[in-house]
Structure formats: structure tokens, C-alpha cells
Chains A and B, each alone.
Chain A
């Protein structure tokens, strides 16, 4: 199956490098797949997971783009963080949503596509979720090992939040104004002062606002290291679009997903719960490193795509907003 290197500019003028896999022959699906890089590793992913997955998806008839975000892989740009956890924290707060949207812009020009399936492991999965919540062109998300926590507290969360997200945080802070526990955290230096100041000062963030969530719990800044953006993003994605989430059984992120997201917030997307499918690969670790684990993961992805993306079709969610 042919693949070719590609390059295009993001909104900061940085050249982003990627590889496009195209089907050899037969019908070509109109909805391309974009595989988003996992964390600090580049577009091939651990043990070439994305290369093998992209080849498989191209064999099914999908056009697949694997790209490097700005500052990663072979792309231009730089990363200022000195610790991996801090960098991961920025990714988890939406650092690469813009680059993802640029990738969709490019694929739209190159292939005439107007809707996309985003996929990714770990940092790629959370980037896909946040991008999907902001951009209606995202038709579906395939998330492998989706993280719902923040890896670091040393991140300027305000740098990547949209105006809508800051408005949510501000409402959450006002709702806690009479909560003694919140004041104790504030006075004992355990609050995120940068976010509080920016949220209360109504920032000049020049981004398109997301659809606002009416779920106050989803918008309220959490007391622990749960990613505050995830509940509302999840709700936005499930209302009208589909998600496949695949976890390794031995991946702690699965238990964290169940405890911190599903148990706390599932009520807010209950009516659309049928749009989320969760698969767990027995014994598998976070990166599906054994062939049987990788094969099982790929099997779930293939099965889900065949059910929801018959050749030439575009999936429609069970329930739409």
C-alpha cells in the first residue's frame, strides 16, 4: 500500500510533517482517519503501533494521515517544558487542538473530506477528544488508553483554554464561594491561582468558544488532578457523534476512566451513552505491546469501523443532539 510524506503549515507558520497512507485499490472511504501523536513520541508511536494500524486501516479502504505536532517528530517548532509530565499536562489541556484542526483543513483541501475520524493513543486520544468537542468536522473518535487526569500541576492551564472553558471555570468558582473547603484550599496554597485570576478577569483568549455545557459539575474545577476539560468534552462528543475507547486491562488509565469520569459524570451523557463503546483487552498494558494485545485492539477498531462506517457511508449516532 502506497504511503507518501506530506508537509503543511500550521497557524503559527510551522511546517508539520506527516505520512499519508492511501488504499491500494478498491473503494476509498470518504471519511479519512487522522492518527494523532501520543505524548512526546512521534507519529510512528510506541513499537510502530500507528504504522501498523495505519497500514491496516488503509487496507480497509481508509485514507490515513499520521502527523507530528509542532515541536515533535520532524515538524518545526519547539517545546519549552523541561519535564515530560509538564509537557503531557499541556497536551491534556489542549495544546495541540489547533494543529489537529490544521490537519483537518489540509486533508479537506487535499482529499475533499469534510468529516474525519480522529484516533490516538494516550495524548493523541485526549487531543482528539478536545478537538472533537470544538470542531464539528470530527465525526468520531477512536481513543486508545484515554487519560482523564492531568499529569502535572505545573502547567499554565489558561494558555490553552478557550473563552467558553474559562467561563465554565468562573461559574464553578462562584458556585464554591460559600464552600469552606474551597476557601481552605485557597488559603493553604493548594488552588490554581493563575486559572482563578484569569477566569475571574474574563480573559482575552482569541479562540472560538465551545458549545457551553449546562452541567455545572462538568464545568467546575475539580478538587483532585482530574482533567477539568474532559467531562464537558465527553458530553459534547457523545451528543451526536460516536466514540470507541479501547483500554488495556492492566492499564491503570482504565480504572481511572471508570472512577473519575464515568462514576462522577456519566449521568450528564446518559441519554447518549449508546454512542460510546468501551472495549478492554485482557491483560494488555497501556501500549498493547504483545502481538496478541495489539491484534485484539486492532480487531476492536476494525469491527467498530465496519459497523459504523460501511464503505461509502458516514456514521450517524444512535441519538443526536
Chain B
């Protein structure tokens, strides 16, 4: 197993990543992994690591990386706006190409907000041929309201009451303060940028990419939800499926180092009718 931790340049920040070298026989599509938001990144880290190792074993070079202000990258969390995360993903694509040898194309993989970043980055990079979106956040506006609710829950835990409701939190952000979500400071810039995100508005330049959209659910479903089907349909060769796994991006009792059904389904798509990579 050849894995190299490294720093590469991105938008004025030193970005941390781990390069997983492809094992022979090498394939000509490499992958960049886009991390979920805030603490979800920590809960899902081992799943990302082990899927990167699976892809590397199958001949795909993989670069996992941290956006500015997250993980081991330079900067503070306040720097990690959605647009900055997209910009850093584009830098990571360049870093992958510099280190992986000749590639016919690049794939992006992400979970939750990472899937959202992957989809947005693909719109700005026609080098992206494969898109794997695990439980994507479709609308940033709804997502940021979830984040504000985490702050409310923290207030209840600490004060036994909500002292500042969501409107007051937003007003405070407009006055230059930040909102704490599980230890991460959300800025007005991040709040407003999240509010503009709508993956169902169309993939733009990424429409030509092959795309797998996965709905992760704790119990079997008859099929993916209608919005995920709409998302997949926006791509030339898009497919939406369901994978039964616990929500391992949260604090749960099982220890998730791998998500076997999710791995199998994604690898099956990669190696099946939607194109051997």
C-alpha cells in the first residue's frame, strides 16, 4: 500500500492531502474525494480512507484532501466557505494530475456536503468524467437550517432553554458574529453561500459526466426518492440507487470503518454497465 501524506498549494493556502498510488494494473481515471462538512468529516474519515484504498487496489489513483480551514490544511474554519471548498477541489484535481501520471479523466466522490461540493466543482471542470454522490445535500438553504438547529440544541443542553432563536442567530451573523455549530464557527458568508445552493437547478457543464447518486438509508427502500432521481436524470448517464447503511456521518453506536454495501454498490457501478473505469 503506497500512501503519501503531502501538502499542495491552493488559493493561497497550503492544502493537506493523502495520495493513494494506484496499484497495477493502473487505470486512467483518478479520483478526488470531497469531504463532508465540519464534524461529519471526522465521523466518516475511516470510510473515506478505506474506500480510497479499495479504489487504489483496483488501479485508480486517489487524492483525499482537506479544504482550507479544515483537517490539516492551513487556515481557519471560517475560511472554508462553500465557494472556497469548490475552488480547493479544483486545485486538488490539479494536484492529482501532477502526481498520478497520465490520466484520461478525473472522478469526484463526496458524501453529504462533500457530494454537493463535488457536483458544483464538476460544473466548473470539464475534466470530470465520473461523479459519485453519496447522500448529497440538494439544497443548501435547508441544510443551513439543520446546522442552526444544532446550535439551538447546544443552547438547550447548556442553558436548559433557547436564548437566541434562529432569527437572532442570523441577525447576529449579519452584525459580524459567527454561529457555533459543534465547535465550528459559521460565518455570514458561509450561511449566505449555502443558501444559494440548489443542485436541482441543473449541472451545467457537468451534464456530460457519468454520475451515480446514492441514497443512504438505514432500512431497505423501494427505490431512491424522487428528487435524487431528478438529480441523476440531469446527467447524460446518471443513475440513482439506494444503499442500506446506518447514517455513519453522525455519532452512532456502531463503529464504521467501512460501509460494505455502499462500497459494493459503488464499485459495481464503476465496473458494470456504466463503464469499466
Contact = CB atoms under 8 A, between A and B. Distances in A.
A48 interface: yes
Q: How large is the interface on A (under 10, 10 to 19, 20 to 34, 35 or more residues)?
A: 35 or more
A290 B38 CA distance: 14
> Which secondary structure characterizes the binding site on chain B?
mixed
B77 interface: yes
Contact of B71 (A15, A44, A79): A44
Contacts of A86: 255
Contacts, number: 87
A43 B66 CA distance: 13
A76 interface: yes
B246 to A, nearest CB: 11
Contacts of A289: 154, 180, 182-183
Interface residues of B, number: 31
A83 B255 contact: yes
B83 interface: no
Nearest to A86: B255
Contact of B16 (A5, A15, A42, A288): A5
A48 B46 CA distance: 17
B154 A74 contact: no
Contact of A5 (B1, B6, B253): B6
Interface string B25-43: 0000000000000110011
Given A7-B5, A74-B5, A84-B253, 19 more contacts: A3-B72, A15-B3, A44-B71, A44-B72, A46-B182, A48-B70, A51-B72, A71-B257, A73-B46, A73-B49, A82-B254, A83-B253, A83-B255, A84-B255, A250-B158, A283-B158, A289-B180, A289-B183, A291-B185
Sorted nearest first, the 4 A-B pairs with minimum C-beta distance are A47-B183, A5-B5, A289-B183, A41-B42
8 contacts: A15-B3, A17-B18, A43-B72, A46-B182, A47-B77, A51-B72, A72-B46, A79-B46
Interface of B: 1, 3, 5-7, 16, 18, 38-39, 42-43, 45-46, 49, 70-72, 77, 154, 157-158, 180, 182-185, 252-255, 257
